[in-house]
Amino acid sequence: MSDPTRLQAVDVERDSAKLTQTHLDFMRRLEKENVNRVLKLRAIRRKNILTGALLGVRAQKKLSQNFLLDPAIINRFVSKARVAGCHVVEVGPGPGSLTRAILQLQPRSLTVIEKDERFLPLLESLADTCVNEDGRMRIVHDDILTFDMGSLGIPTEVRRDWNNRELPDISLIGNLPFSIATRLVINWLFDIATRRGPWEYGRVPMVLSFQEEVAQRIVAEPGTENRSRLSVMCQAFCDVRYGMTIRGGSFVPAPDVDAGIVVFTPRATPLVPVEEFGFPFFERVVRDIFNCKKKDFRKGVKNLIPEKLHEILLPEIVARAGIEVDLECSGPIYLTVSDFGRIASAIKELHVAIPELAKYDFRSARTTRTNGEELLPRVERFLRDGWNAGGPLSAFAV
């Protein structure tokens, strides 16, 4: 006896006379959706098998892990870097997908820096099959955020003078975790500005992955929607080039966003006179001005000076920096890197003349930060003695 709770099979040819076109269209739509659902499930199952069986571990969300497994995409990624015959440093190799592609291009040496100890056995097996100048691939188990990049042990003979057009035979490559990528690149820009770590050897290039939105910010030109603090900081010290887009579905597990590859080449001469005011100060100036990204850049400059000095100092700083204000395009996204450099130089001159101004931080509690009223007489005297007498900074080579 048939089960009354089961749906009876429909024979379309036999029962077509009983079915309207609407019924037939609905059935075909259901069939198509079911096929798509099965294909998606097969893809998920395949990726789970690859992750579980081949890697033996699962990606950890807290480490922002997303692995590339597609050989074609991996090869395109690695092709953006200088690898053959070079000393290569790979950050966050994970299961070694990029590592294999790097090794196939025969680098002179390879150092991988991995935080997750679960991947060490797999990387060790790769190292056992690798024969380089130093005998094997070097594996460093450490957190890249705290690792001393100056301890890589790269031979001194590959060093190149900073102004040499020829880059040293060293490359840094990494499929970076999205959660730390911005912080990490700011740290490395500081090292580039001060020529520390790998950059003791010269203008070492980098090929790095980011969330696509972040990658677009890094390469964004003045006046574009993606222009940001990161654009200014990266472009001040590096020539940046967008390499390629990697769809989110190419990763295991797949993130909700796409990734973008950016190629960094340190500039022989930075676009700002960082030796005058230092990297941390410049980074603070850019960050505080972009705190008011949607408003006039002068509102952001106010973040750098006490409230009671806004009226007297703001126009003087803008004049000293030689910036002509266009009310139609007055947001910080319209400023060039050199504009930010001249603003930083002007504010640094103020700090040298009146050191108390350097202690001001608009982020600190109102009860603890000065409003600048007690400094007003000294500021007026400084301006009266002719701060801008020598002309705006834009009249000089900056």
User: Which residues are documented as binding site for S-adenosyl-L-methionine?
Assistant: 66, 68, 92, 114, 143, 175
DSSP state of 257: S
DSSP state of 228: -
Are 261 and 209 spatial neighbours (Cβ–Cβ below 8 Å)? yes
Return the closest-CA partner of residue 210 out of 172, 248, 238, 236. Answer: 248
Instruction: Determine the distance from the C-alpha atom of residue 371 to the mean position of all C-alpha atoms in its chain, rounded to a whole number.
Output: 36
Return the closest-CA partner of residue 266 out of 211, 206, 306. Answer: 206
The half-sphere exposure of 21 on its side-chain side, counting CA atoms within 13 A, is 0
3-state secondary structure of 260: strand
Kindly state the helix (H) or strand (E) to which residue 21 belongs, with its residue range: helix 21-49
Give the annotated binding-site residues.
66, 68, 92, 114, 143, 175
- Which string of DSSP letters, residue by residue, matches 136-195? S-EEEES-TTT--GGGS---GGG---TT-SSPPSEEEEE---HHHHHHHHHHHHHHHHHT
